[in-house]
Structure 1
Amino acid sequence: MSDEQQSNMGEEEVSMDDWAAAMAEQESAEAEAEATVQPAHALFQEFGAAAASASVPQNLDMILDIPVQLTVELGRTRIAIRNLLQLAQGSVVELDGLAGEPMDVLVNGCLIAQGEVVVVNDKFGIRLTDIITPAERIRRLQK
């Protein structure tokens, strides 16, 4: 066998030993995690007690600086790539939304409200006309 072949075999053996060690470490971590699993009712009691003792503003302060993406959707359409490539400045794309129809307001892709477009100081905005309740959001997800 050449020196190069022996070197490659040595690297493979080291790699396999590292792989085996990593697998053993993962198995021991999983075994420890299973041993420390608590019943769900115990976790919920702890969570409920902590939530009752903490004030609402402190809980909200933890999430107030998390960025989310707010999108106002005028409408949607499906278009073939052939037609998409033919679009040019001044082209009109027909959307499924009707003029005067409420616009959908989405946060991270989830519908939370509907509203109407307004113009204030030459800038577009949206006036919320209907807020989707949490129960309604859950119902829409289940469809």
Structure 2
Amino acid sequence: MTKQDKRLEDFKDVSLSISLCIGKKFLTLNKILKLKEGDLIEFDKKLEDYLDVYLNGQKFGIGELVIVNDKYSLRLVDLV
């Protein structure tokens, strides 16, 4: 085991947050105040477009949303 491997060993059980970004949209405060349940907010991305993947808030890669056993899953396409 290398010295670097030994240093990494201490951190292997640290939990990290993974999140996906389907898009960003800017709305005026006026539009936000008028929102009500059932309103739709449309984004520019299409359903089949790749999603940005973030690890602890930092861009980590891109992936595609897939369904496995009736649950949303992420297939990693590229790591940054």
Show structure 2 runs of 5+ residues with no match: none
In 2, Cα distance between equivalents of 1:96 and 1:83: 18
Is residue 69 of structure 2 the alignment partner of residue 107 of structure 1? no
Q: Percent of counterpart pairs with the same letter? A: 28
The code of the aligned residue for 2:77 comes to: T
TM (norm. structure 1) is 0.50
Higher strand share: 2
SS in 1 for 2:60: strand
The change in CA–CA distance for 1:71 and 1:55 in structure 2 (over 3 A counts) is: closer
Could you tell me how far 1:55 is from its partner in structure 2? 5.9
Q: Counterparts in 2 of 1:16-95, with a 5 A limit?
A: 54=3, 56=5, 58-95=6-43
> Based on CA coordinates, which of the two structures has the bigger radius of gyration?
1
Q: Which has the higher contact order (CA 8 A, sep 6+)?
A: 2
In 2, Cα distance between equivalents of 1:126 and 1:92: 24
Show structure 1 runs of 5+ residues with no match: 1-52, 133-143
TM (norm. structure 2) is 0.83
Give the aligned length. 80
- Give deviations 1:73-103, integer Å, cap 9, x for gaps: 1111001122112222221112232331100
